[in-house]
């Protein structure tokens, strides 16, 4: 949410008065043929009307009538590890930032670095998602939208998010498990298959596909650019007021 500062109102007033005063000077000179009178009239008018403009701007700023609260939304990216969630979510966030709306980016990797030892059992994952839901709800109370990317493999945890936050848009990043493995440059899937990683989604733990996703992106069929365009178009149509 953006607010008008006193300094901005003053600068706007000055630039507007420069235009208006020049107009006044020209009009007075044309009608009376006296440059001195025209300049004096312009100066007096400028001083008075800069102050009146500032008072007018600040007065309207305090009046709530006619103001619409920005309704925040939450884009919830879910999918298998290395399905492309973070990559697409990052690009979507960049595009939405260009619309000058209050928005924040939340990613599983960043959150887990802040809160270590969360764990990967079903209960631990569900509790973790509940914490994220509370964070999103707090941001929404301040009219801040969010772009969040989490594996969130269980339907009950995704339902938690839908119940907790407003305007939740589930984006299911769909990818074949073999496609995900082919993108795995760090060998995470191999470590999961060998047993080094426990409760690894898609290998030693289940991924429950969303039943009610607002947007489904099949990364085996769509390019990153096309995926981003589809998601941003959806948000602009349903949540961004021009």
- Which residues are the active-site residues? 152
Q: Where are the alpha helices (DSSP H) in 115-223?
A: 122-141, 155-164, 177-182, 188-193
Q: Where are the alpha helices (DSSP H) in 165-242?
A: 177-182, 188-193, 224-239
Residue written as tokens 């004096």?
40
Beta bridge pairs of residue 172: 78, 216
Number of helices (H), then strands (E), in the chain? 9, 5
What's the CA gap between 113 and 109, in Å, rounded? 6
Residues 232/233/239/242 CA torsion (nearest 10 deg): 110
What's the CA gap between 63 and 201, in Å, rounded? 52
What's the CA gap between 191 and 198, in Å, rounded? 9
**Token pair recorded at residue 97:** 């930032």
Sign of the torsion formed by the C-alpha atoms of 208, 211, 215 and 221 = positive
Report the SS3 class of residue 5: coil
């Amino acid at each position: 949410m953006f607010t008008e500062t006193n300094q901005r109102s003053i600068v706007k007033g000055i630039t507007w008065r420069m235009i208006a005063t020049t107009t006044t000077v020209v009009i007075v000179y044309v009608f009376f043929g006296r440059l001195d009178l025209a300049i004096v009239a312009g100066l007096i008018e400028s001083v008075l009307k800069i102050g009146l403009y500032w008072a007018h701007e600040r007065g309207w700023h305090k009046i709530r009538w006619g103001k619409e609260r920005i309704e925040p939304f939450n884009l919830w990216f879910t999918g298998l590890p290395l399905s492309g969630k973070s990559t697409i979510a990052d690009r979507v966030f960049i595009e939405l930032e260009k619309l000058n709306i209050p928005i924040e980016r939340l990613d599983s990797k960043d959150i887990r670095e802040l809160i270590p030892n969360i764990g990967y059992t079903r209960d631990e994952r569900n509790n973790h998602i509940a914490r994220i839901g509370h964070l999103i709800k707090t941001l929404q109370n301040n009219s801040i939208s969010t772009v969040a990317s989490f594996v969130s493999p269980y339907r009950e945890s995704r339902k938690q998010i839908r119940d907790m936050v407003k305007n939740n848009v589930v984006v299911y990043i769909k990818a074949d498990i073999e496609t995900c493995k082919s993108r795995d440059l760090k060998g995470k899937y191999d470590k999961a298959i060998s047993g080094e990683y426990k409760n690894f989604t898609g290998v030693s733990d289940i991924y429950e596909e969303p039943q009610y996703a607002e947007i489904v992106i099949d990364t085996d069929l769509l390019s990153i650019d096309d995926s981003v365009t589809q998601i941003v178009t959806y948000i602009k149509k349903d949540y961004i007021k021009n």
